[in-house]
Amino acid sequence: MRRTGVVLLGLGVVMLGWVAWQYWGTTWQSQHRHDEITTQLEESWRDGDAAARVDEGVATAVVRIPAFGPDYAVPLLEGTSDEALAAGFGHFDGTSDPGQEGNFAIAGHRVTHGEPLADMPSLQEGDRVIVDTATHTFTYALDTGGDDLTVTFDQTWVLDPLPTNPDAGGPQPAQEPGQRLLTLTTCAELFHTDERLVAFGHLISSSPRTQ
């Protein structure tokens, strides 16, 4: 009985350690990686390159959300693989590039792996999302709050070039042809991934990027 108790206690300690690593260790590691990739990307820009190839993929931009603090800066990587999302925001394949006509759609973790959208529910209509690329700074204003819209993971209409909410009474993005839209997505719940929080925005300014 004593031996069994020791084994169970050991397994409990291992499980607690694993949970702690998932929720705190990966976040610390990823936030450190965010800083490294952002620095590497800015160095690439100074060298005349539009992107930086890193272990997790290709980094092309830096996302800043002033509502999350003056030091908030998270790199944007192409694609939404597990590796890309562990290193920053992921840019959905097939959606528009920053500042371009259509729907620029990005995803980020809400818990673990740097949790860049941990405070997504606190975002309000009118909050800014700033995206720095090699040549320009694009500023978007949110049209919906961070927890105004929840969809299931398979509702891909939010990624359309001109998204249209099938729920006529639900939050809608800007609906004018030629719009330059932003879509932010993250997990709706902290402990499972069946649903997504979605916020829409539109481009309000574009200017040459300063060092």
**CB atoms near residue 72 (< 10 Å):** 15
Query: Taking Cα atoms as reference points, which of 84, 92, 117 lies closest to residue 190?
Result: 117
Phi then psi for 46, rounded to 5 degrees? -65, -25
- Which domains can be identified in the chain, with CATH numbers? 2-208 (2.40.260.10)
- List CB contacts of 196: < 8 A, sequence separation 6 or more: 150, 151, 152, 153, 155, 158, 185, 186, 187, 188
Q: How far is CA 201 from CA 64, 139, 197, in A?
A: 14, 10, 14
In terms of residues, how long is the chain? 211
**Residue 67: DSSP 8-state:** G
Q: Where are the beta strands (DSSP E) in the chain?
A: 52-54, 57-64, 74-78, 89-91, 102-107, 128-132, 136-142, 149-152, 180-187, 195-208
Helix (H, G, I), strand (E, B) or coil at 123: coil
**CB atoms near residue 14 (< 10 Å):** 10
Q: What are 141's strand-pairing partners?
A: 128, 202
pLDDT in 10s for each residue of the chain, 211 residues: 656 554 455 454 444 443 443 444 555 566 788 999 999 999 999 999 999 999 999 999 999 999 999 999 999 999 999 999 999 999 999 999 999 999 999 999 887 656 899 999 999 999 999 999 999 999 999 999 999 999 998 999 999 999 999 998 888 887 787 899 999 999 887 666 689 999 999 999 999 998 6
- List CB contacts of 147: < 8 A, sequence separation 6 or more: 120, 121, 197
